[in-house]
């Protein structure tokens, strides 16, 4: 609907995935996985509600559709949200409490080398831009931290990241997501 979807498409296609943009409930048909990109979480949610995608998307992810949620995507899925717009809520599908823009404003953006559990090779370049801050976790597996705070979690078939892997040249996280989606589809 809004956000860094073009960058995710580039990364996923470089990993051999076939992609399509999802803008309506009908676009969910036949998907092996979905990416909820970074962007502006309030705008994303309002647009999804306006076109009737919010409920069907929530149902599909809740039923096990493999999902990669980055930055604003994590906010959209969260069970609890602070510093949101009035009445803004997450879908409640990811057992985390997050604070919008918890790492600061655009001028506070930074990169950090992250060790991500299950990701072979060197550290991963985490790009943090107006990123959510995970304030607490419930029934999720923390797969990466930065300065003692969770920045990447997994819950079932959902992988949620505070950072933007699509803004790097490192395709390892997208490759892992493609593998997870393919395994779920077979």
- For the whole model, what pTM was predicted? 0.94
Please give the residue range of the domain that contains residue 160: 5-185
- pLDDT at residue 22 above 90? yes
Residue-level pLDDT at 161? 98
From the list 8, 71, 174, 176, the catalytic residue is 71
Q: Is the pLDDT of residue 173 over 80?
A: yes
What is the sign, positive or negative, of the torsion defined by CA atoms of 157, 163, 145, 93? negative
Q: Are 127 and 167 in contact (CB under 8 A)?
A: yes
Grouping H, G, I as helix, E, B as strand and the rest as coil, residue 55 is: helix
The pLDDT of residue 134: 97
Residue 71: active-site member: yes
The answer, yes or no, to whether residue 139 has pLDDT greater than 90, is yes
Q: What is the pLDDT of residue 126?
A: 96
pLDDT tens digits, one per residue of 67-83: 999 999 999 999 998 87
* Alpha carbon separation from 120 to 71, 123, 175 (Å, rounded): 23, 9, 11
Say how many C-beta atoms besides its own lie within 10 A of residue 15's C-beta. Answer: 16
DSSP for 117-131 reads TT--SS-EEEEESS-
Q: With contact defined as beta carbons under 8 Å apart, do 37 and 31 qualify?
A: no
Tell me the CA distances in angstroms from 101 to 7, 70, 83, one per residue in order. 21, 13, 8
Catalytic residue among 7, 146, 166, 176: 166
Catalytic residue among 146, 164, 174, 176: 164
Pairwise pLDDT comparison (14 vs 85), residue with the higher score: 14
**pLDDT value at residue 37:** 92
Using an 8 Å Cβ cutoff, are 161 and 70 in contact? yes
Task: State the CATH number of the domain containing residue 144.
Answer: 3.40.50.880
Q: How confident is the model at residue 106 (pLDDT cuts 50, 70, 90)?
A: confident
Asked if 117 is an active-site residue, the reply is no
Give the total number of structural domains in the chain.
1
- Bridge partners of 145, per DSSP, are 150
pLDDT of res. 150: 98
Lowest-pLDDT choice from 99-108, 134-143, 162-171:
99-108
15 is annotated as an active-site residue: no
Beta 67-70 vs 34-36: how paired, if at all?
parallel
Residues 24-77: pLDDT tens digits? Answer: 999 999 999 999 998 888 888 888 999 999 999 999 999 999 999 999 999 999
15 backbone dihedrals φ, ψ, rounded to 5°: -90, 5
pLDDT score recorded for residue 129: 92
């Amino acid at each position: 609907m809004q956000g860094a979807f073009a960058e995710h498409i580039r990364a996923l296609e470089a990993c051999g995935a076939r992609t399509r943009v999802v803008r309506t409930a009908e676009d969910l048909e036949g998907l092996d996985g979905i990416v909820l990109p970074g962007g502006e979480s309030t705008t994303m949610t309002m647009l999804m509600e306006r076109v009737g995608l919010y409920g069907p998307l929530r149902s599909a992810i809740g039923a096990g559709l493999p999902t990669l949620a980055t930055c604003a995507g994590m906010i959209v899925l969260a069970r609890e949200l602070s510093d949101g717009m009035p009445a803004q809520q997450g879908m409640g599908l990811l057992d985390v409490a997050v604070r919008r823009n918890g790492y600061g404003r655009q001028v506070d953006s930074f990169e950090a080398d992250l060790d991500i559990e299950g990701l072979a090779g060197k550290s991963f370049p985490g790009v943090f831009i107006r990123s959510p801050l995970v304030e607490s976790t419930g029934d999720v597996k923390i797969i990466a931290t930065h300065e003692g705070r969770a920045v990447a979690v997994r819950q079932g078939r959902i992988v949620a990241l505070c950072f933007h892997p699509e803004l790097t040249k490192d395709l390892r996280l997208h490759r892992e997501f493609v593998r997870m989606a393919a395994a779920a589809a077979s």
